[in-house]
Amino acid sequence: MTCAPPNNPNTALQLDAHGRLRHFLTLDGLSRAHLIDILDRAEGFLGIARQAIKKVPLCRGKIIANLFFENSTRTRTTFELAAKRLSADVLNLNVNTSATAKGETLLDTLRNLEAMHVDMFVVRHADSGAAHFIARHTAAHVSVINAGDGRHSHPTQGMLDMFTIRQHKGDFTRLKVAIVGDVLHSRVARSQITALTTLGVEDVRIIAPRTLIPAHAEATFGVTVYHDLRAGVRDVDVVIMLRLQRERMDGGFIPSEQEYFRLFGLTEKRLATAKPDAIVMHPGPINRGVEMDSRVADGPRSVILEQVSNGLAVRMAIMSLCIGAHNFNMNQQDAADE
């Protein structure tokens, strides 16, 4: 697969010479073929949940370290479970509470884990660019998967959302998708927008007050900005709600939860202008009564729990792709050395 856009530095960092995924840091720079390939492979992993023994031996003997510099039990659990279903050995490190507090630098932590022959880092960090930094500085035998970096990127979440959309809607090209909420601070939104546009969705809308829309969003992302929820969700096939962090509700970006819900909270009534078969998604955890009404969250159009189970298959696919590419390259290297 050599169809990645040229001159994108992400391409050189993420892909090897054969176009295989070495690291999975961002969707920016991956081609449509790459994304489709990931979705197709994830289909295969769905079946594992039906096995009596919910485990395949793909990554047997591999060590996967969950490096969480930012607490997130939910995300860490899905990565941990995905790794375990691939038969890998999993190390969980909450780094903010241990090493770095003692003055050890991030690079020191990495070097220590590399010396333990870790094969993959799954990284969650509060700083945008942290996964890129780690990928640039890690040893050649380690793959890095971004499990969320600052406001930048959360590519596995983006892919599992695409997987869920494809399950319900099939073809992407004719879809209208609305993303509602705090796009400014959302790594999830950035990954979703990149994935949707790469997969050929021409009508992507972001809906929020101006304080939560990043600068030049339309020109940067090729989306349409709406400030009115009802107009924004008209005729859409998919509504993606974003999480509004508590700390944004204190008056700095929006005046209050109440006003936000009044204007941008998703209710059944407001959803009425969307297509009758529109699905509603949310990366979780939901602030009920702020982002959406419980009747929508638990209603027939909600696919929120499917997102969770799909997340496992998608993460298994991505992890095994990276480890597989890595195995291949190490063998090539050995062959070249002989």
Q: Which residue positions form the known binding site for carbamoyl phosphate?
A: 74-75, 124, 154, 157, 284-285
Angle of helix 155-169 relative to helix 187-198, nearest 10 degrees, comes to 50
Cβ proximity to other proteins, 130 vs 180, nearer residue: 130
Cβ proximity to other proteins, 50 vs 262, nearer residue: 50
Q: Of the candidates 55, 117, 246, 269, which one interacts with other proteins according to CB under 8 A?
A: 55
Min separation Cβ 194 and other proteins, Å: 9
67: helix, strand or coil? strand
**CB neighbours of residue 300 within 10 Å:** 8
Rounded distance between C-alpha atoms, residue 107 and residue 109, angstroms: 5
Using CA atoms of 69, 139, 107, 153 in order, give the dihedral in degrees to the nearest 10.
-40
Rounded distance between C-alpha atoms, residue 158 and residue 310, angstroms: 12
Binding mask 5-44 for other proteins (x = CB under 8 A): ----xx--x----x-x-------x--------x--xx-xx
**Binding to other proteins by residue 153, rule CB under 8 A?**
yes
Q: Which of residues 293-332 bind other proteins (CB under 8 A)?
A: 320-321, 324-325, 327-328, 331
Indicate the DSSP class of residue 196: H
**CB neighbours of residue 97 within 10 Å:** 11
Rounded distance between C-alpha atoms, residue 142 and residue 98, angstroms: 22
**Binding to other proteins by residue 152, rule CB under 8 A?**
yes
Min separation Cβ 244 and other proteins, Å: 16
Using CA atoms of 69, 72, 75, 78 in order, give the dihedral in degrees to the nearest 10.
100
Binding mask 260-299 for other proteins (x = CB under 8 A): ----------------------------------------
Q: Are 178 and 207 in contact (CB under 8 A)?
A: yes
Rounded distance between C-alpha atoms, residue 134 and residue 224, angstroms: 34
Q: Are 273 and 233 in contact (CB under 8 A)?
A: yes
Q: Are 240 and 229 in contact (CB under 8 A)?
A: no
**Binding to other proteins by residue 336, rule CB under 8 A?**
no
Cβ proximity to other proteins, 193 vs 296, nearer residue: 193
As annotated, the binding site includes 74-75, 102, 124, 154, 157, 187, 243, 284-285
Size of interface with other proteins, in residues (CB under 8 A): 56
Min separation Cβ 127 and other proteins, Å: 4
* Binding-site ranges for other proteins (CB under 8 A): 1, 9-10, 13, 18, 20, 28, 37, 40-41, 43-48, 50-53, 55-58, 105-107, 125, 127-130, 132-133, 137, 149-153, 187, 190, 214-217, 219-221, 320-321, 324-325, 327-328, 331
